[in-house]
Amino acid sequence: MSVLRFLFNLLWFLLGGVLMGLAWWLAGLLCFISLIGIPWGRACFMIGTFTFFPFGKTTVSRRFITGRDDIGTGTLGLIGNIIWFVLFGVWLAIGHITSALACFITIVGIPFGIQHLKLALASLAPIGQTVVTKHEAETGQYIR
């Protein structure tokens, strides 16, 4: 299965994943211009890194990794996610869902469509989330 994951990630990266990830990183840099934008900038870098190679990875709350709340998983993170959702998240999710539907037209594109749906979900409320491998998420090995 890891060979298929590698091939899909390579195809994804070459066919647009690198551009999408760099765009997310650019948005993150722009968010870091102001202190208020730092949580959103961090979220942009998380999604950007996830976008480069999404096969075999998923997002989980940092609360599950650390076992406690932090600024992104608490009340301030919730408020930040609501602001993100209204201003950016819903539109980014619509874009990823549209891309997923285009990928679902062909059988070969189905795995890529699934990744777009994962990215749409991650772009809805990214503050307080982190990226882990599917194996870590399924077994809970990321818990320290």
Domain-by-domain residue ranges, the chain? 3-134
Mean pLDDT of all residues in the chain? 89
pLDDT tens digits, 24-83: 999 999 999 988 888 899 899 999 999 999 999 999 888 888 888 888 888 888 999 999
The confidence score (pLDDT) of residue 1 equals 60
End-to-end CA distance of the chain: 27
Instruction: Name which of 135, 131, 127, 132 is nearest 42 in CA terms.
Output: 127
Does residue 140 have a pLDDT over 90? Answer: no
pTM: 0.84
Instruction: Name which of 48, 35, 59 is nearest 128 in CA terms.
Output: 59
The confidence score (pLDDT) of residue 139 equals 78
